[in-house]
Amino acid sequence: MMTTHLERAMQRLINKSLAKKSAKYIEKFILFTAHNKHIIQQHHLLMRSKTPRTSAKIFFQIFAFEARFERVCYPLRVMNDIFVHQLSCGAALIIERMAGVGSGAVTISIPGGSAFDPPTRMGRGTMWSELLLRGASALDSRAQADAFDRLGVSRSTDLGAYTLRIAAGMLGSNVVPALALMMDMVRCPRMDDESIDPCRELAIAAIDSLADDPQERASHIIRERHFQEPINRSGLGTRDGLAALTGENLRSDWANEVRPGTCIIGIAGAVERQPIIDALESMTKGWSGRVEDPPCTGTPPRGYAHENDPSNQVQIMLLHDAPPEPNPDSMLEKVVANVLSGGMAGRLFTEVREKRGLCYTVNAGYRGEKEFGCVSAYVGTTPEKAQESLNVLFEQLALLHTPQGAITQQEFDRAIIGMKSSVVFSGESTGARSASIVSDYRRLGKPRSLEEITAQVSALTLDQVNAYLARREMGRITIQTLGPKELSPPQGV
């Protein structure tokens, strides 16, 4: 009797979803199935061919959504165990215990991004990010790699505008010994003289590789023109800056400038708090000080610019201002970005590629930082279709601010589902969660659980989004093209 009741309830929800194609009913179905998965697994009859062929795609989407939302609908209540602690040295420690996993992940964010590079030694950050993986304390490059391998630890470094991140993944039981090796990288990197030239050659090779990657080259150019100094830097450095770096100044700068006051350590997975706290207090003993982010200065040129590139491709990039991440409007901006570029049903894909066949790729996205935010849009096309591609791209972005271009209920529902899916995907790995809680702490001053983010998304309404678009300001737009021929920019750019 119980099983029959469940089957009937499931069928009712499915029928409503098929009839209305509504995210509301799909989400109800997801909530229902998340609580009764053990029975659902025995009843795949619902997926068989008795349903009309035209409904197969919708059935697939419903079950795909169920899988994606499984950890939002129910298990989040046991996953959002987030603990924040300030170590004696001043560094912030964030620990998220995740149920149902056996792995652990660590992300350490330290002040050392490209914005900190001295003007005469541009590229210091990228050199640091490579040198950290080449030995620390008594371990040379090979011994350090062997020590991590014995623990089954995968590790990497990532350079941003303000921060240099060290990330590692391992078994949950190996988090503390892995932390010992990682903190050695932070506190006692070797940066041996014999490692400097090989790292410099790798950095120069990265600059040279831009010649074969026009999209990446265009992204560096538009960043330099859109943002203020020093956050407009590419992170790759310059040839002159790299040439000026020596083992001596790299080591002394690290010792003087990498201080714990603005460091953030995020740990997620199958971990216990107290052993981690005790270990880190010991590892950071005697470490002190604080380094603030460098201020932004100057007025960027923005507007339209073109760089000649004798190829059969044209890169079109556009940037405009958006709310910073702490601003409540940032969540509304994310909905707009999903409407524009939330897959094959996004407006840009539909209008620029599907209806007109103007390009091979088109996308848009939102990026929010602590003090600023921006929306980026990109079109990759051919010289013959470049001008029309730019025109249609700009037209679609401007249309959002008009009554005729208001977001529809269907677009809104699809965007909300896409945003919730992204939340779930970000919670599927311990590495993603350790990176996310560190990023949240830096930008918002606190980490957010998946449950909290999902609640914020669920609270949004279509009226809120369209009201936001009616008052939204894009600032002065920056457009960069790279190809064989200069284009005519839209009026007012």
Predicted confidence (pLDDT) at residue 52 exceeds the cutoff of 50:
no
pLDDT at 229: 97
Rounded-to-integer distance, Cα 253 and Cα 124, Å: 9
Mean pLDDT of 3-16: 50
Mean pLDDT of 267-277: 97
Q: Are the folds of 79-283 and 303-483 the same?
A: yes
Mean pLDDT of 286-310: 96
Q: Where are the domains of the chain?
A: 2-74, 79-283, 303-483
Q: How far is CA 7 from the centre of its chain?
A: 40
pLDDT band at 442 (very low <50, low <70, confident <90, very high): very high
pLDDT at 77: 38
Between 1.20.1370.20, 3.30.450.40, 3.30.830.10, 3.30.450.20, what CATH number should domain 79-283 receive?
3.30.830.10
Instruction: Report the chain's C-alpha Rg in angstroms.
Output: 25
Predicted confidence (pLDDT) at residue 29 exceeds the cutoff of 80:
no
pLDDT tens digits, one per residue of 66-93? 444 443 343 333 445 899 999 999 999 9
Predicted confidence (pLDDT) at residue 6 exceeds the cutoff of 80:
no
pLDDT at 72: 39
* Per-residue DSSP letter, 375: E
Instruction: List the Cα angle 456/459/464 in 5-degree steps.
Output: 110
In 21-168, which residue ranges form alpha helices assigned H by DSSP?
Answer: 23-35, 37-40, 56-73, 76-79, 124-131, 141-150
Tokens 């790292």 found at? 199
Residue 104: which residues within 8 A CB-CB, separation 6 or more?
169, 170, 171, 172, 173, 174, 175, 178, 267, 268, 269, 270, 271, 430
pLDDT at 81: 87
Average pLDDT, the chain: 88
Tokens 């980026």 found at? 376
Residue 268: which residues within 8 A CB-CB, separation 6 or more?
95, 96, 97, 98, 104, 105, 430, 431, 433, 434, 437
SS3 state at 365 = strand
Tokens 């848009």 found at? 364
Q: Which residue has the higher pLDDT, 396 or 43?
A: 396
303-483 CATH: 3.30.830.10
Rounded-to-integer distance, Cα 87 and Cα 281, Å: 6
Length of the chain: 493
pLDDT at 276: 98
Mean pLDDT of 302-331: 97
Among residues 121, 138, 128, 161, the alpha carbon closest in space to that of 254 is found at 128
Rounded-to-integer distance, Cα 437 and Cα 266, Å: 6
Mean pLDDT of 245-263: 97
pLDDT at 48: 39
pLDDT at 75: 39
Q: Are 365 and 338 in contact (CB under 8 A)?
A: no
Q: Are 114 and 159 in contact (CB under 8 A)?
A: yes
